[in-house]
Amino acid sequence: MIGALKGESHRCEFDGVETVPTATGRYCYVPTIHKVKLGEIVDLLRQFAEMPKTLMIPEIPNYSFAKKLYSTFLSYLPKEKAIFDLKMNIDDRGSFTELVHTINCGQVSINISKPGIIKGQHWHHTKWEQFIVVSGHGLIQQRKEGTDEVIEYEVSGDHIQSVIMLPGYTHNIINLSDTQDLVTVMYCNEVFDPNRPDTFFDPVDK
pLDDT tens, position by position, 97-141: 999 999 999 999 999 999 999 999 999 999 999 999 999 999 999
pTM of the predicted model as reported, rounded to 2 decimal places: 0.84
Average pLDDT over every residue of 173-202: 96
3-state secondary structure of 66: helix
pLDDT tens, position by position, 81-102: 999 999 999 999 999 999 999 9
Average pLDDT over every residue of 145-161: 97
Asked if pLDDT for residue 3 goes beyond 90, the answer is no
H/E stretch holding 108: strand 106-113
Mean pLDDT of the chain, nearest integer: 95
What is the C-alpha to C-alpha distance for residues 189 and 169, in angstroms, rounded to an integer?
16
pLDDT tens, position by position, 20-50: 999 999 998 888 889 999 999 999 999 999 9
Asked if pLDDT for residue 185 goes beyond 80, the answer is yes
Start-end ranges of CATH 2.60.120.10 in the chain? Answer: 88-201
Q: Which residues of 8-45 are buried (b: 16+ CB within 10 A; e: fewer)?
A: ebbebeeeeeebeeeeebeeeeeeeeeeeeeeeeeebe
* Superfamily in which the 88-201 domain is placed by CATH: Jelly Rolls (2.60.120.10)
